[in-house]
Homo-oligomer: A and B are copies of this chain.
Amino acid sequence: MARDLRMSRMLHVLIHMDRHLGRATSEQIAQMISTNAVVVRRMMAGLRERGIVTSEKGHGGGWQLACPLARISLRDVYEAVGHPPLFNIGPQADSSSCLVEQAVDARLDATLSEAEARLLAQFSTITVEEVAQDFERRFAESGHSVPFQWHGSTDE
């Protein structure tokens, strides 16, 4: 597909879980982000491995936040979803015996690596709590009485 949506989607989910869901099943989360429960489990499994959420099976089970949003950075979420490749451009993965190509690839790799390091550093400075507060500002400015677009179900 176009690009990797996992980081964006997981941020969305984490804020909903903190601000109004509490515990949620994969099925509920899937409806929230318009996808399939299996896709949700795949992504959430990465968050669990990083200690961001916990999961429980059986009746009353589901997913739950394991720490406050203020202690989760965008970098944490990026790593949790498997640190997908950041860039859509760059040289071919396998190197060539052509010295010109080697020089081009080295320059591009160096430039992209530097940009990647800067972007990841930036991700480290932003907490999910900050983004949640962005949302609350938007809500306050919207003048609506219900802070969420209810995703599929109205019971909570």
What is the interface of chain A, defined by CB distance below 8 A to chain B? 2-8, 11-12, 15-16, 19, 74, 78, 84-93, 96-108, 111-112, 114-115, 118-119, 122-123, 126, 130-132, 134-135, 138-139, 142, 147-149, 151
A–B Cβ pairs within 8 angstroms, 10 of them = A8-B104, A84-B89, A98-B149, A99-B135, A99-B147, A99-B148, A100-B135, A102-B135, A103-B138, A111-B119
Known contacts A84-B89, A85-B88, A100-B135; is A108 also within 8 Å of B148 by CB? Answer: no
- Whether B8 pairs with A99 at a CB distance below 8 angstroms is no
- Whether B104 pairs with A15 at a CB distance below 8 angstroms is yes
Interface of A is mostly: helix
Q: Which residue of the partner chain B has the closest CB to A4?
A: B89
Nearest 8 Cβ contacts at the A-B interface: A103-B135, A98-B149, A103-B134, A8-B91, A115-B119, A11-B104, A88-B88, A4-B89
Minimum CB–CB distance for A104 against chain B, Å: 5
Copies in the complex: 2
Known contacts A90-B8, A111-B123, A114-B122; is A99 also within 8 Å of B3 by CB? Answer: no
Task: State the CA gap A52–B116 with chains docked (Å).
Answer: 29
- Whether A131 pairs with B107 at a CB distance below 8 angstroms is yes
Minimum CB–CB distance for A27 against chain B, Å: 18
- Whether A90 pairs with B3 at a CB distance below 8 angstroms is yes
**A114 CB contacts on chain B under 8 angstroms:** 122
Which of the residues B100, B102, B151 comes within 8 Å of A98, measured between beta carbons? B151
Q: Which residue of the partner chain B has the closest CB to A92?
A: B5
